[in-house]
Structure 1
Amino acid sequence: MARFPVWDPFIRLFHWSLVLLFAANSFVIDPDSALHAPIGYAIVALIALRLVWGLIGSPYARFSSFPISQSAILSQIRDIALSRRAAHCGHSPLGSVMICNLLFCILALGGSGYLASLSGGAVFPWAEDLHEFLVAWVQFSIVIHIGAVFFESRRIGVDLIRAMMTGFKEIPRYRAKE
């Protein structure tokens, strides 16, 4: 096994804080509660910090390390279809697409929530519908993300959840891909 230091402390703190705050706002806190908006603002602030860290952070945290290209995505899909077990040190191509989807949509969710709150929704009457749609889309994306993490962990033989907790990916040497 090769042990790769992949997720720095900021990434892990960001990830698990986002999980807790989003789960609280989606499933615990009532949308009409006085806590809903401050938690939403905290989520937006977290993502703003993550965007900065994506430019200046550790190597695997940088967006420049996200392998988002048609050829990389098709290569990963081929690997899955052909049962090839190559593991990526950082995010996989499909994982990179999901992370960008979640970051963008959660920012849009925060923006639509803010717009919906202006004058009780009178200024931008469409914002509440957009906000509710984005909540559903982000929740759906999270379910897909969690399912993909379990699927990929099993498929490639790398405990991705442990990696997000410890910061290290343990990858069989013959399976590692940059």
Structure 2
Amino acid sequence: MEQTVKVWDPVVRLFHWSLVVSFAVAWLTADEWDNLHEWAGYAAAALIGFRLVWGLVGPRYARFSQFIRSPRDVAAYVGATLKGKEPRYLGHNPAGSLMILGLILAMAGTAATGWMLTLDSFWGAEWVEETHEAMATLMLFMVATHVAGVIFASRRHKENLVRAMIGGRKRAPGPTDVS
């Protein structure tokens, strides 16, 4: 049997799947069930706030300091990927870390503009509504890109990253892997 190591702690996994559900509920109820849509948005905002804290105090692979990379590192990783020579990362790879930051920012922007729409001062403000809808559409595109990246990396490195985000364990690092 293949050796595995614990990478994703239960809090990160619960956050991830809870955010998936809250975004899906908010997206699906956008024009139909205002109360459920709003509560899903509040849940997403709370989850993002919690993740920001957990990114500072959580265990190793949850911390931003472990996976945030410079633009140069991201570009080098993407270049290596295009050549089929990217290393396997035990935690988030540089492209994945960029996606995580983008998703956090886009979700925060979507939640903030949604909340603004509930305030008297922005009620009916077309620019806020259009920004909210644009951010939600951007989120949908980013989620699709994220899923495609997960599938790509899973195939490329012969490991099921979805299973890793459910169970928390990944294949033990080899000599060329980045841990």
TM, length-normalised to structure 2: 0.91
Partner of 2:84, secondary structure, is: coil
Q: 1:67 to 1:52 in 2, by over 3 A?
A: closer
Shift of the alpha carbon at 1:70? 2.4
- How far apart, in 2, do the equivalents of 1:140 and 1:12 lie? 22
Alignment of 1:17-28 (within 5 A): 17-28=18-29
Alignment of 1:1-150 (within 5 A): 1-28=2-29, 30=31, 32-119=33-120, 121-122=122-123, 124-150=125-151
- How far apart, in 2, do the equivalents of 1:146 and 1:69 lie? 23
How many residues are aligned here?
178
TM-superposition CA deviations, 1:86-136 (whole Å, max 9, x none): 210111001000000001110110110011222394474311010000010
Deviates more, 1:78-87 or 1:162-171: 78-87
Shift of the alpha carbon at 1:138? 0.3
Matched-pair contact (CA < 8 Å) for 1:25–1:40: yes
- How far apart, in 1, do the equivalents of 2:109 and 2:170 lie? 31
Partner of 2:126, secondary structure, is: coil
Percentage identity across paired residues of the two chains: 37
Matched-pair contact (CA < 8 Å) for 1:106–1:138: yes
- How far apart, in 2, do the equivalents of 1:24 and 1:102 lie? 17
Partner amino acid for 1:129? E
Shift of the alpha carbon at 1:36? 1.2
Matched-pair contact (CA < 8 Å) for 1:85–1:175: no
Partner amino acid for 2:8? W
Partner of 1:169, secondary structure, is: strand
Partner amino acid for 2:154? S
- How far apart, in 2, do the equivalents of 1:4 and 1:174 lie? 15
Partner amino acid for 1:108? G
Deviates more, 1:111-120 or 1:18-27: 111-120
Shift of the alpha carbon at 1:80? 1.1
Matched-pair contact (CA < 8 Å) for 2:55–2:64: yes
Q: 1:47 to 1:31 in 2, by over 3 A?
A: farther
Matched-pair contact (CA < 8 Å) for 1:4–1:89: no
- How far apart, in 1, do the equivalents of 2:18 and 2:135 lie? 20
TM, length-normalised to structure 1: 0.91
Shift of the alpha carbon at 1:22? 0.7
Partner of 1:34, secondary structure, is: helix
